[in-house]
Structure 1
């Protein structure tokens, strides 16, 4: 690709993000009454639902913190990110340390999931805020959540299983989210020890999920990496 084309594409995506996508969501999505963000929006920006998904609260906070850290340190972006992390900290956690998946506008819990993807999204949000603010407490929280998620991926029976053990399986989602979460923590916390988590996740994906003979990356395989010749594994 020629340099001129690279620069053109850079402008397209940068301008699209900063001048089109972000102005659609903010500041209209700020919840000045309860904190966090109201993100269930129709195409015209109108509010469809006041409930709050913790995935979205965490990822929006990560986005704003990352913009502050990597594009330019706009005070407004950091203020908005603080509003997100404050809501997550106040309303995102159950008494056992696990996170809620779905809460009301004011943070009352509605639903909790078995899997730990919410915790990984919170980890990257706290890591971005740690870099933006220099707050070691945010850094510690990011690490705690990441290590909790790792424990659950390593031992699915820490929560009530969804399936019997008749046909044990594993999904690519675990190593994928472990890898990208570790990348964000390494970048934002400046800790190279996360490289080992990244390398381990890549190794697992390559050895168990990539099938060069059929030129496919499988989403679900048996626990030893074999293809499952049923609907769930195809």
Structure 2
């Protein structure tokens, strides 16, 4: 046990040193002191090779600065807070394309003119996280008001009416569910509900909905976490169904496991019971035995089916740990975007 403690302490020190090194780089090179906000297209030497400003990256940097300022004593300094506030004010002035409408740009010019809009919710999600963290470190109510208003708009787009995103429903499009949407919504639920009982209660059911949606992406008897599934939680054929993003998979399933349904909720056939994060840490990855079934679960035979579906989850997440559990295949090496995998298609059953 002592050796394990020493190893963990060594890693903690190394991660801390890396954080200090990374923060020094961004503090020195990324601040736009003329227009506000941050340069994010930086070379290894810190030189700006493109001054376009991506709204989701602006939001992430504001959030990170505020979170470090709030959580770590060594980052509790005026320079960091001032930079976060300058980034937040840049977002307030320029992120929304046509105020008072809520839709945010995807990318802006250096001085804040919109360049491109994406028909998704992700710029708005990081805008919300930035505003909420700014409120936490400044206590200025206008930031929290922005965060809650944008959160309600995002929920409306996702749960009620997506037409405001500008994405038409085309007749040839395959109906599918992306894991990225409930993953980001669950991040927002946790962000806004932190130490806020009113908002935590307000978004509790949304958190359970997100968790159920995320866990539908655990497929192939728990051996793969797929980015896209059908609307009823089944694996899709073709390229869309083979897309796998290990980073999203590990983060999403881990978060979902912290949001079990209320005790009154009964698990239905097709639901996936969450694997507790503690169990993921304490178990051998390849010997993971399956989920802890919540109180009020159905019969033991049904629980066995759910265990079978989630068992082997370690194989789905092991690419994140540097272990590729998938069969050797040239197709595995094809990456549609950074951090993503295309998993091999499931074996075809012979015709009878």
In the superposition, the TM-score normalised over structure 2's length comes to: 0.62
TM-superposition CA deviations, 1:158-204 (whole Å, max 9, x none): 43336624431111111111111211222265642234332221122
Q: Quick one: which of 87, 104, 116 aligns to 1:99?
A: 104
- State the number of aligned residues: 232
When residues 159 and 122 of structure 1 are mapped into structure 2, their CA distance, relative to the original with a 3 A threshold, is closer
SS in structure 1 opposite 2:88?
helix
Deviation at 1:107, TM superposition (A): 0.6
Q: Is the 8 A contact 2:192 2:200 kept in 1?
A: no
Task: Indicate whether 1:200 and 2:202 are aligned.
Answer: no
Task: Indicate whether 1:32 and 2:39 are aligned.
Answer: no
Q: Quick one: which of 106, 124, 127 aligns to 1:119?
A: 124
Deviation at 1:86, TM superposition (A): 0.6
Task: Indicate whether 1:161 and 2:163 are aligned.
Answer: no
Deviation at 1:227, TM superposition (A): 1.3
When residues 158 and 77 of structure 1 are mapped into structure 2, their CA distance, relative to the original with a 3 A threshold, is same
Structure-2 residue corresponding to 1:79: 82
Higher relative contact order (CA 8 A, sep 6+): 1
Q: Using the alignment, how far apart are the partners of 1:86 and 1:123 within structure 2?
A: 13
Task: Show structure 1 runs of 4+ deviating over 4 A.
Answer: none
SS in structure 2 opposite 1:177?
helix
Q: Quick one: which of 8, 11, 15 aligns to 2:10?
A: 8
Q: Is the 8 A contact 2:60 2:126 kept in 1?
A: yes
Q: Quick one: which of 139, 148, 151 aligns to 1:146?
A: 151
Deviation at 1:216, TM superposition (A): 1.2
TM-superposition CA deviations, 1:140-174 (whole Å, max 9, x none): 21111122112222243443336624431111111
TM-superposition CA deviations, 1:25-84 (whole Å, max 9, x none): 113211111111112100111110111111111110001011111112222111110010
- Contiguous gaps of at least 5 residues in structure 2: 243-352
When residues 197 and 224 of structure 1 are mapped into structure 2, their CA distance, relative to the original with a 3 A threshold, is same
Deviation at 1:116, TM superposition (A): 0.9
Structure-1 residue corresponding to 2:320: none
Q: Which moved more, 1:79-88 or 1:7-16?
A: 7-16
Normalized per residue, the structure richer in helix is 1
Q: Is the 8 A contact 2:227 2:241 kept in 1?
A: yes
When residues 62 and 214 of structure 1 are mapped into structure 2, their CA distance, relative to the original with a 3 A threshold, is closer
Q: Is the 8 A contact 1:220 1:232 kept in 2?
A: yes
Structure-2 residue corresponding to 1:184: 191
Task: Indicate whether 1:215 and 2:216 are aligned.
Answer: no
SS in structure 1 opposite 2:57?
helix
Q: Using the alignment, how far apart are the partners of 2:164 and 2:92 within structure 1?
A: 23
In the superposition, the TM-score normalised over structure 1's length comes to: 0.92
SS in structure 1 opposite 2:152?
helix
- Contiguous gaps of at least 5 residues in structure 1: none
Q: Is the 8 A contact 1:183 1:195 kept in 2?
A: no
Q: Is the 8 A contact 2:106 2:123 kept in 1?
A: yes
